[in-house]
C-alpha cells in the first residue's frame, strides 16, 4: 500500500493503537518497522507521522526519529478544560434533540455502568464510561466538536484509563455520569450542561492529585 491510502492507513492504525493502549508515552516509532508491520512504504509512514505530529500525538525528535508524545499533568488539565466546553455543548444538543431510540441507548448504558460498579468490574466500567462520552458526542450531531474531541481524547486516553481504575473513583464518578444521562433523557439542556461540567470538573480535580510524571496517562 502506498501513496495517500498508505498514509491514511498508518495514521489510523497508530491512532487505534494509542486508543487501546498498545502504544505508550515516549515509545519510539521506527519508520521501517512500521512500514514492514503495516505493509506500506516508508514514505507513507513518514507522511503519516508528520500528520500525527501536527495533531500533537507524535513528537519528531531531530536525529532520533519519532516517538509517542508525553502529556504532562498540567497539559492534561488544560486539555480537559477544553473538553469540558465542547462536551457541555454536545450534552445540551443531545438533551434538546435526541430521539426516543437514542435516549433508550443512553439509559441502557447507565444500567450497564451501575452493574459494572456493583460487580467490581472496573475495566468494564472504564470502557462503558468512554462509550457514554462517545455516544453523547455522536448523538449531538456537532461534527466540528466531534473532530476536536477525537483529537483531544486520544491525547488523554491513558490518563482516562488510569483515573477510571483509581480506588474509589468509579463509585465517585458513577453518580456524575448518571446525572448526565438523567438530564439528557429528561430533555433538560441546562441540567445536561451542568452535569457535564461537574463530571469533567471532577476529572480535573483527580488530575491535580496525580503525580507529576504520570505522562500521557485518561476519563
109-122 pLDDT per residue, tens: 999 999 999 999 98
**Looking at residue 13, what is its pLDDT?**
86
State the DSSP string of 182-218. Answer: HHHHTT-HHHHHHHHHHHHHHHHHHHHTS-GGG----
90-104 pLDDT per residue, tens: 999 999 999 999 999
Query: Which of the pair, 158 or 202, is modelled with greater confidence?
Result: 202
Task: State percent of the chain over pLDDT 70.
Answer: 89
Global confidence as pTM: 0.73
pLDDT at 159 over 90: no
Q: Which range scores top for mean pLDDT: 45-54, 127-136, 189-198?
A: 189-198
Structural domains of the chain ordered from first start: 3-68 (1.10.10.10), 73-214 (1.20.120.530)
How many CB atoms neighbour CB 53 within 10 A?
14
The residues facing 65 across adjacent strands are 61
pLDDT at 190 over 80: yes
State how far the Cα of 213 lies from the Cα of 56, in Å rounded to an integer: 18
Contact 187, 96 (CB under 8 A): yes
Amino acid at each position: 500500500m502506498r501513496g495517500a491510502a498508505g498514509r491514511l492507513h498508518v495514521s489510523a492504525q497508530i491512532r487505534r493503537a494509542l486508543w487501546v493502549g498498545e502504544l505508550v508515552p515516549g515509545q519510539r516509532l521506527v519508520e521501517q518497522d512500521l512500514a514492514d508491520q503495516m505493509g506500506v512504504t516508508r514514505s507513507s509512514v513518514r507522511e503519516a507521522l508528520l500528520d500525527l505530529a501536527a495533531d500533537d500525538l507524535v513528537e519528531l525528535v531531530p536525529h532520533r526519529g519519532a516517538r509517542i508524545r508525553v502529556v504532562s499533568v498540567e497539559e492534561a488539565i488544560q486539555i480537559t478544560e477544553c473538553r469540558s466546553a465542547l462536551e457541555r455543548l454536545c450534552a445540551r444538543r443531545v438533551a434538546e434533540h435526541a430521539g426516543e431510540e437514542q435516549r433508550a441507548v443512553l439509559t441502557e448504558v447507565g444500567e450497564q455502568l451501575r452493574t459494572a460498579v456493583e460487580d467490581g468490574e472496573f475495566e468494564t466500567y472504564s470502557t462503558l464510561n468512554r462509550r457514554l462520552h462517545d455516544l453523547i458526542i455522536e448523538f449531538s450531531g456537532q461534527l466540528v466538536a466531534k473532530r476536536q474531541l477525537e483529537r483531544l481524547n486520544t491525547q488523554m486516553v491513558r490518563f482516562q484509563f488510569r483515573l477510571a481504575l483509581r480506588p474509589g473513583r468509579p463509585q465517585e464518578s458513577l453518580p456524575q455520569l448518571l446525572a448526565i444521562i438523567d438530564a439528557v433523557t429528561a430533555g433538560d439542556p441546562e441540567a445536561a450542561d451542568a452535569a457535564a461540567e461537574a463530571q469533567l470538573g471532577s476529572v480535573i480535580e483527580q488530575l491535580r492529585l496525580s503525580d507529576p510524571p504520570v505522562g500521557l496517562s485518561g476519563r
